[in-house]
A and B are shown apart, each in its own frame.
Chain A
């Protein structure tokens, strides 16, 4: 595997379900991000992890719970979601402190909440 991978690519869940999204980066980076991409809205930053420590929580509802067990893996745990949470969830990684620090994105998980 190369770059940033995300699983599953598609997910359908009911409002009472609990599910998790997984992201793995194979770039040796030390920062990881979750973004939400909804129709008709700009990409929204949700969480930032730097060296496995959460450094940003962008006013995200508590029904979204991130976890970063090591610098290569990032999870987004989902529970009691709402239909308006249906979106494309994108994971990204970067190497902190590099000149022109660039984020590299995974293919995303398309989530549908029924």
Chain B
């Protein structure tokens, strides 16, 4: 079974500061990994995904994440936070080798990012 752990349910940074949101996963096979963002009263929007090509993945809005197999991590970073980045962020894993039903995403519990002016 696969699982995702997001360390820190709330993260607060100052505008212009580095954003680091942590995600660790467990999976018996090489996974697909995703970061989604959810703004208030909206659905989930894909930020970026890892599919086994480059280990450093660039996404939208200046975000990127690095896949580290040895650490089973897929942390999300952004060099300089903007007020509009305030939202909830979800890390998710899917088992690329599984049957259709099992390929559904397993989500972490989410990290709420606050950006202080």
Contacts and interface: CB of A to CB of B under 8 A. Distances in A.
Contacts of B41: 107, 110
Interface in A8-41: 31, 33, 41
Contact of A100 (B32, B43, B110): B32
Interface in A82-97: 90, 92, 96
Given A42-B110, A100-B32, A103-B105, A48 B46 contact: no
B42 A108 contact: yes
Contacts of A92: 44
Interface residues of A, number: 26
Given A90-B43, A107-B43, A102 B34 contact: yes
Nearest to B34: A102
Contacts of A42: 107-110
Given A43-B90, A100-B51, A105-B36, A50 B101 contact: yes
Contacts of B49: 100, 102
A66 to B, nearest CB: 13
Contacts of A56: 100-102, 104
Interface in B27-72: 32, 34, 36, 41-46, 49, 51
Contacts of A90: 43-44
B105 A45 contact: yes
B23 to A, nearest CB: 13
Contacts of A43: 90, 105, 107
B73 interface: no
B94 interface: yes
Top 3 A-B residue pairs of the complex, sorted by shortest distance between their CB atoms: A100-B51, A56-B101, A55-B101
Given A96-B103, A100-B32, A103-B105, 11 more contacts: A4-B43, A41-B109, A42-B107, A45-B105, A48-B101, A48-B104, A90-B44, A101-B94, A105-B43, A107-B43, A108-B43
